[in-house]
Every structure is written in C-alpha cells, then in structure tokens.
Homo-oligomer: A and B are copies of this chain.
Amino acid sequence: MPRRIVTLTTDFGTSDHFVGAMKGVILSICPAAEIVDITHEIAPFEVTEAAFLISEAYPTFPKKAIHVVVVDPGVGTSRRPILVEAAGQFFIAPDNGVLAMVYGRTPHKARVITSERYFRKPVSRTFHGRDIFAAAAAHLAKGVPPARFGKLIDDHLKLAFDKPARTGKRIWTGTILKADRFGNLITNFHVADHPEIQTRPFEMQAGVQRITRLALTYADAHAGELFLIVGSTGYYEVAANQASAAHLLGCGVGAPVELTIY
C-alpha cells in the first residue's frame, strides 16, 4: 500500500496524550499513513489563527494529502464534522470556519460527515479529534471514497477573515491573523489587494504606533525599528529587525490595524 499523507493541525499542544492518541487511531486504521505534524500550538479555540495557518501550509503539499484541522470550541455541541475537497487535497474539520481561508483560495466541495461507521466507538463527548476527525481521516487515507462519508452541502460556514473593511475614502480597518514565533504580526492586508502600499505614502496604525515605512528585507531596517514587509505569505506583516513587533506593540492575534493611504 502506498504511503498516504495525513497532516495534523490542532490547538491540543504537545504536552498531553491527545496528539499521540490521534496518531495511534490513524495508524491502527491505516498503517500506511504518513503522519505529518503541521502544528499543535494554535492558541486554544483560535479558529481564525488555524484558518490562516492551514491556508498557508496546504499549498505546499502534494495532491491527495489529507489535512485534519481540529480547533473546536464547540466540541460536544451540534456543530458538524465536514470533509472538504479542494485543490486535489482533502480537509477534515469541524464546520466552524476553520477552513474558510481554504475556501477563499480555491474552488471546493464540502460534505457533512454522517457515517458513524467511520468513527471510533464509543464516541466521547469531549475528544472528537480522536474519535471522529482522526478516525475519518484514516478511513479516507485507507481508500474509502469521500461520498461514503456523507452528503454534499452548501450551507457550511464561510467567513472572510482575510478581507479588511473599507471604513473611509482612503482608510481600511483590518486585523492581525497571527503573531509568529519571531513576533512578526501578520495582518490580513494582502499585497494583491493592496498594491498601493508599495507605491504611495501610507500609514499603518498598530497598537499606539504609526508605521510608515515598507522594507524589502528584515536586514534593511535598524535593529528594533518597526516597519511593514511583504511576508512570505503575501500578507503585509508588521515587523522589527531582530526584535519582536508583537512585544514592542503589545499586540497579538485579533488586534485591529488601520491603514490610511495618502
């Protein structure tokens, strides 16, 4: 049996048995699965951050990769598990918006997962990551056709995390999608939607600071200086050379930013 990639993106952290249990379930059902940790360090319950993260990671993966995304504040309630096909790959997640930025990038089909035969029994009330999401992913990896999991739906949750709102003639209000390990603050302003930042004077307000400089590389700026940069994601990031912009500004995921173009 050929290897089949199953990636994991969760807010479970790596200090509990949760991730190990998901891996065990997957390997018990599909011994040929190739499990790839993307991250387990999504901030607890931060659906936006997970939505951003999987949307950045999946395009690097090959066709047929299966991505399990479990950030699930509503576990145990009626929110649905879904199976999404997009870009020749598969996504298994709760229907809470965590895949919304994938939908924004590429056409997709969504199914509600209803076939309990692909669950691990008994299904616990609090650990669907193991009992539903990991188990369904492993059956998919083993060759169960997507249509067996449940019907196509179109009422799944679509959210536009990555579109700043125009709040004035030359003003847009956006947000921080992610504070990365280096303290760079990834905004939801994308270079494709806001090319004018490259050519015209601008001001980006973040925390109590106003940033007016766009740099090409981190090394272009003085140590500690705040600037905008087009990150590897295509989103503008608030950064500081060899320092943490998040720390300097006291900002994190979900903080508002405001762009003015002059």
Contacts and interface: CB of A to CB of B under 8 A. Distances in A.
A172 B9 CA distance: 39
Interface in A61-78: 61-62, 65, 73-77
Interface string A198-238: 00000000000000000011110000000001111100000
B218 A75 contact: yes
Number of copies: 3
Interface stretch (A15-23, A108-116, A144-152, A156-164): A15-23
A41 B28 contact: no
Contacts of A77: 217, 219
**Residue among A37, A45, A74, A126 facing the most chain B CB atoms (10 A cut-off):** A126
A60 interface: yes
A181 B20 contact: no
Enumerate the 6 nearest inter-chain pairs by beta-carbon distance, A residue then B residue, closest first. Answer: A24-B60, A127-B232, A76-B217, A20-B38, A13-B181, A15-B41
22 contacts: A14-B14, A14-B41, A15-B39, A16-B181, A17-B39, A18-B180, A18-B181, A19-B39, A23-B36, A24-B60, A27-B34, A28-B60, A35-B36, A76-B217, A76-B218, A76-B219, A77-B217, A125-B216, A125-B230, A126-B231, A127-B231, A127-B232
Given A23-B60, A24-B57, 12 more contacts: A9-B20, A13-B181, A15-B181, A17-B53, A21-B60, A24-B59, A27-B34, A27-B36, A75-B217, A75-B218, A76-B219, A131-B232
